[in-house]
Amino acid sequence: MTARTLYRKLVDSHSAATLDEQNVLLFCDLHLMNEYTSPQAFAGLYEQRRGVAMPGQNVAVVSHIIPTHPVKFRVIVDTASALQASNLKNNCEHFGIPLFDTNDSLQGIEHVVAPELGMIRPGMVVICGDSHTTTYGALGALGFGIGTTEVEHVLATQTLVYRIAQDMRIRVDGVLPAGTTAKDLVLAIIGRIGAQGARGFVVEFCGPAIDALSIEARFTLCNMTVEAGARGALIAPDQTAIDYVMAHAQDIASYHREAALAAWQDLRSDDGASFEVEHRFEAADMAPQVTWGTSPDQVVAIDGRIPQLVDLPDGPVRSSAERALRYTGLQAGDAIEGTPVQHVFIGSCTNGRIEDLRAAAGIVRGRRVAEGVRAMVVPGSGAVKAAAEAEGLHRVFTEAGFEWRRPGCSMCLAMNDDVLADGVRCASTTNRNFEGRQGRGAITHLMSPAMAAAAAVTGRITDVRLIENLPLKTRP
């Protein structure tokens, strides 16, 4: 029997029909929806007088447009956004689809809510009208984003016409040094292979450094793999993943448990399986990373320097760097460390989980947000917010001068009222630093939660590895 990769096993097990050499009709175990990629799909169903094939295998979450102000009852003031939310509610009620609405206690970002509520299990195919659906590869599930037309097709049939991707394997040996996280690892990988380096591929991560990561760190890694152009990201489920799933998916009854465990044992690439491209990295070489430009691959180690333009390949790479430097107001050859910031954002589907908040709080505790900096923490879900408050993390942040907000996508993207003004420079734990991503003219520097916390208390991009030597900060 031909040796298969984990990716091909997942595709083969979910192929309802082979359409041609490159395309299959893929059955989707779970379809997640949000308020901004579903309206046209529902309109198509109404127009064709079709129903939803499997309502219970679809789940909707209001997350991108929702305000995160710390009020008890949230109201979406923006008329267009309010209409999106109300339309989603009406559509879900009409078709019998579960919805985590604006004031649901478990509401949050779809990619945080789904795994923490046990919806994601190894071996599943999970889709969503959002590119960061790759997150679920952390549990050995094939997750990927789809477009609005595809959303309609899935609602009507629970299947998708799917073009098969190529296989890439990235192995990371060794152990990440202190102060370096999964966010730094994935930024370094993207910086090395480029923003299109995994285009057309599903990436499987492996190696001792990957095995040592927590599930939340694996979520971060798989979440951002799409920023290298990947169509998916996977990590073979090990005991760490299985323990996480069993702790969160408590609906797996005892008589199903053994069958599930047996099935999950095969969810790994066979010995001798072929990958079209392979990369290898050494974890010990990694350092905290910070983006300097307007693409996640325009990144440098905190103790490094912004590249000289003459050192970059002539053509699109160099011209993109020139434009990025004009936009960010930085200079080629300068150190990134010490760059002043006016805003700090900790949150998003990349780094809005409880482990991320604990890491940031560990840096903030006993310190104050630097003068002239506005800092905010937005938990990824209601459950994350409740857990953080039970641990007293919210007091650590608020006593330091941070804003403690309600769950939502918030300042990851300028689709709600958390928007930065022109020229404001932000240390952010999000996944994209595109022009205007956090507000027209706003400048985004991607980094880990600990690095963002260090920037908040110093007022500048700072090497978190040196934070222990900083004096305690107090406001005048």
Q: What is the pTM of this model?
A: 0.96
The pLDDT confidence band at residue 458, using thresholds 50, 70 and 90, is very high
Residue 474 scores a pLDDT above 80: no
What is the C-alpha separation between 202 and 7, in angstroms, rounded? 7
280 CB-side CA count, 13 A: 3
SS3 435: coil
Structural tokens at position 203:
């990436």
* Predicted local confidence at residue 471, as pLDDT: 56
Alpha helices in 299-429, H assignment, sequence order: 316-328, 348-351, 354-364, 382-390, 393-400
The helix (H) or strand (E) run that includes residue 222 is: helix 215-224
Task: Look over the chain and give the mean of its residue pLDDT values, rounded to a whole number.
Answer: 95
Beta carbons of 384 and 112 less than 8 angstroms apart = yes
Tokens 């027209």 label which residue?
Answer: 440
Q: How far is CA 49 from the centre of its chain?
A: 35
Beta carbons of 233 and 126 less than 8 angstroms apart = no
Query: Nearest to residue 454, comparing CAs of 293, 295, 341, 330?
Result: 341
What is the C-alpha separation between 115 and 322, in angstroms, rounded? 40
Mean pLDDT, residues 153-171: 98
Query: Nearest to residue 364, comparing CAs of 400, 340, 390, 391?
Result: 400
* Predicted local confidence at residue 469, as pLDDT: 65
Residue 301 scores a pLDDT above 60: yes
* Predicted local confidence at residue 475, as pLDDT: 32
Structural tokens at position 238:
């090990």
Q: How many CB atoms lie within 10 A of CB 67?
A: 19
Task: Tell me the CA distances in angstroms from 214 to 56, 173, 384, 437, one per residue in order.
Answer: 30, 16, 16, 29
* Predicted local confidence at residue 1, as pLDDT: 77
Q: How many CB atoms lie within 10 A of CB 175?
A: 14
Tokens 């609005």 label which residue?
Answer: 148
What is the C-alpha separation between 215 and 187, in angstroms, rounded? 18
SS3 191: helix
* Predicted local confidence at residue 470, as pLDDT: 59
Secondary structure letter of residue 470 according to DSSP? S
pLDDT digits (tens, 9 = 90+) for 138-152: 999 999 999 989 999
What is the C-alpha separation between 395 and 410, in angstroms, rounded? 21
Residue 253 scores a pLDDT above 80: no
Task: Give, rounded to a whole angstrom, the gap between the first and last alpha carbons of the chain.
Answer: 71
Percentage of residues of the chain with pLDDT beyond 70 = 98
SS3 6: helix
* Predicted local confidence at residue 222, as pLDDT: 98
DSSP codes of every residue in 18-65: E-SSSEEEEE-SEEEE-TTTSHHHHHHHHHHT---S-GGGEEEE--SS
The dihedrals phi and psi of 223, each to the nearest 5 degrees, come to: -55, -45
What is the C-alpha separation between 274 and 140, in angstroms, rounded? 18
Residue 315 scores a pLDDT above 50: yes
pLDDT digits (tens, 9 = 90+) for 34-90: 998 888 999 999 999 999 999 999 999 999 999 999 998 999 999 999 999 999 999
The pLDDT confidence band at residue 476, using thresholds 50, 70 and 90, is very low
Mean pLDDT, residues 134-140: 98
Mean pLDDT, residues 86-107: 96
What is the C-alpha separation between 346 and 386, in angstroms, rounded? 16
The dihedrals phi and psi of 145, each to the nearest 5 degrees, come to: -85, 150
Task: Tell me the CA distances in angstroms from 41 to 32, 66, 155, 277, 409, one per residue in order.
Answer: 13, 21, 8, 36, 22
Beta carbons of 99 and 88 less than 8 angstroms apart = yes
Mean pLDDT, residues 452-458: 98
pLDDT digits (tens, 9 = 90+) for 409-428: 999 999 999 999 999 999 99
DSSP codes of every residue in 118-148: T---TT-EEEESSGGGGGGGGGT-EEEE--H
Give the domains, in start order, of the chain with CATH numbers: 12-163+243-261 (3.30.499.10), 166-237+269-289 (3.40.1060.10), 299-469 (3.30.499.10)
What is the C-alpha separation between 110 and 194, in angstroms, rounded? 27
What is the C-alpha separation between 25 and 391, in angstroms, rounded? 46
Task: Tell me the CA distances in angstroms from 446 to 118, 300, 433, one per residue in order.
Answer: 29, 11, 7
pLDDT digits (tens, 9 = 90+) for 177-228: 999 999 999 999 999 999 999 999 999 999 999 999 999 999 999 999 999 9
pLDDT digits (tens, 9 = 90+) for 230-249: 999 999 999 999 999 999 99
